[in-house]
Amino acid sequence: MTSVLDPNASVTLRVGPEQAGQRLDKALALLAGEISRARLQQVIKEGGVRLNGAVASDASRKVVEGDELALVMPEAKPAEPIAQDIPLDVVYEDEHLIVIDKPAGLVVHPAGGHEDGTLVNALIAHCGESLSGIGGVRRPGIVHRLDKDTSGLLVVAKNDQAHQKLAKQFADHGRTGPLQRAYLAIVWGTPRLREGTIDAPIERSNRNREKMMVVKEGRGREAITHIELIERYPPLLKGLDETEPLASLIECRLETGRTHQIRVHMSHIGHPLLGDQLYGSGFATKAVRLPAEAQAALAALGRQALHAAILGFAHPATGEEMLFESEPPADFANLQAALATL
């Protein structure tokens, strides 16, 4: 069956009542599902969309129910990211791989709006042509990624063999091997259980293409997060849960690795991350209940309170089990310290 993602294959889509009256680009985004609106706008500009048999070049044109849209996705153009001298916090490096402690604010790979100044640009400068897939792959050596505003550990392959073997481990999600990924998250309130599992599939939102959302079983992609309560703020008093917790420190271990998974799952159970403007905007007013020092620390954080603290995997060449740990950066630690005084 032809997919909307297949390059150079024409896929016919029909406008239904849900898309009627929408702009062409928005209607396509709703119908195509897996393709961003920004990407579809580019495809429209390049003549890759036909409306009732005629090329449609105006993304703002309104569609009506019954309109037939033919979409042809062009071949992806090979990227040629440039080398840039961007400082890297290298935790470990050998001829096969490099482990980086990524700072918050650093984008992992070039994309729309971030064509340079990324981790890939820094890696090209640091590693030269030893990175896997160099000269044609948009994410040379990148096996997994972290959101721009998430700090912490990330492994990058330096040759194709290492890339393939690491990718296989990440695809297996540690179910049959030693792969480990654990994050520290500061969330609003406290989950009901000290330990638990969130098993809820995720797909991209049709209303906001920047967001992911939990969907019913049978839709989306499998997403499983194991959580454990590490600390709550304020702490339990004399063993009695008499004080409503404002926030908690949670360890989240990934069994799958979907986009924004931890942020989506924690919001889904009613405990979004502090500082998460995308998934926790409804909790913004709760910040006024924090003491002045904690409010200042949260404002200084300026991002979601999420840090990739533990990363473990089997070395792709030797098979040795490797485990790395990263202490939270100063902005995260300062927020922890301020909350601990509640």
Query: Measured between alpha carbons, how far is 60 from 28 in angstroms, rounded to an integer?
Result: 11
Residue holding tokens 């009506």?
64
168 has which bridge partners? none
Residue holding tokens 């997403």?
223
Tell me, yes or no, if 6 is annotated catalytic.
no
Q: Which of 288, 285, 282, 256 is nearest to 268 (CA)?
A: 282
Which of these is catalytic: 25, 67, 101, 147?
147
Buried/exposed 140-173: b ≥16 CB within 10 Å, e otherwise = bbbbbbbbbbbbbbbbbbbbeebbebbbebbeeb
Phi and psi, residue 236, nearest 5°: -60, 140
Phi and psi, residue 62, nearest 5°: -85, 145
For residue 339, how far is the Cα from the chain centroid? 26
330-340 vs 292-301: helix crossing angle, rounded to 10? 160
Please give the DSSP secondary-structure letter assigned to residue 318: T
Phi and psi, residue 12, nearest 5°: -95, 130
Please give the DSSP secondary-structure letter assigned to residue 241: -
Q: Which of 104, 42, 102, 100 is nearest to 74 (CA)?
A: 42
Residue holding tokens 């991209």?
204
What is the helix (H) or strand (E) element at residue 296, kind and residue range? Answer: helix 292-301
Which active-site residues does the annotation give?
147
